[in-house]
Copies of this chain bind each other. A is one copy, B any other.
Amino acid sequence: MDEPSTAARIRAVLVGTQHPGNIGSAARALKTMGLGRLSLVAPERFPHPEALALAAGADDLLAAATVHATLAEAVADCTLVLGCTARSRRVPLPEQGPRDAAEAILAEVDAGGEVALVFGRERTGLENDELQLCHGAVHIPANPEYSSLNLAAAVQVLAWEVRMALLSRQPAAAPEPRDPPASHAQLEGLFAQLGDTLDAIDFHKGRAPESAMRKLRRLFLRSRLDAREVRLLRGVLADAQRMARLAGGDGGR
């Protein structure tokens, strides 16, 4: 299933939103994550210039948003309705976190379903009769000492998890073009020249060279050098060797 057709079967439903700015911010959060459907249940003020201002380039979602009198009407055609809840104690519903919920949402769409993610009022959340319409609850495990996510922040977290679940099932994107990694032989050539250079600049001063070389190998290997970087480093070493020759300071060799 491709990304747009999956996203087209997932809607966010905002219930009784008090601040129109939050509707705009939620639209923006949805669109950045590739979700395009928004339903509003009895918004206090909508349409409203603040919603438009905060939607930034996501005003198309506002223009296409459906407005409903009740949550029941907004989710009438949905096969999976998940209510986002701040606190879970009083909720008589199976509850999961956003990551598991995202998997459940995609599985539902795969099975031919329609999904609603429902967000309640800023202060008071969803009412009991609204929770009764939900198949499950999603709880964001926030800091227990300060769990007050802004409405748009909660939408952002859920939409992000849906996007990540969707992206993780698609064939991996082509990797960033990068220079080819250095071969074993190229790296050994670098280390041999590094060893010679340390001798030439009299780095060891009588100490056994193995310990320093082992540490230097380790840090360069960890860096996963590419072939061009090996050439650059060898150029630096060549100039240090040239200086050592000019100084006559090749450690007696």
Contact = CB atoms under 8 A, between A and B. Distances in A.
Within the oligomer, what is the number of copies of this chain? 2
Contacts of A31: 143, 146
Contacts of A25: 150
Given A88-B176, A244-B243, A249-B243, A58 B202 contact: no
A105 to B, nearest CB: 17
A213 to B, nearest CB: 10
A192 interface: no
Contacts of A28: 148, 150, 153
A32 B148 contact: yes
A146 B29 CA distance: 10
A212 B235 CA distance: 10
A97 B119 CA distance: 27
Contacts of A197: 240
Interface stretch (A8-16, A40-48, A67-75, A156-164): A156-164
B160 A201 contact: no
Nearest to A29: B153
Interface of A: 25, 28-29, 31-34, 56-58, 88, 95, 99, 141-143, 146-150, 152-153, 156-157, 160, 163-164, 167, 176, 197-198, 200-203, 212, 215-216, 219-220, 222-225, 228-229, 232-233, 235-236, 239-240, 242-244, 246-249
Given A31-B143, A32-B149, A219-B225, 13 more contacts: A29-B150, A57-B148, A99-B164, A157-B157, A201-B239, A201-B242, A202-B243, A203-B236, A212-B232, A215-B229, A219-B233, A223-B223, A246-B249
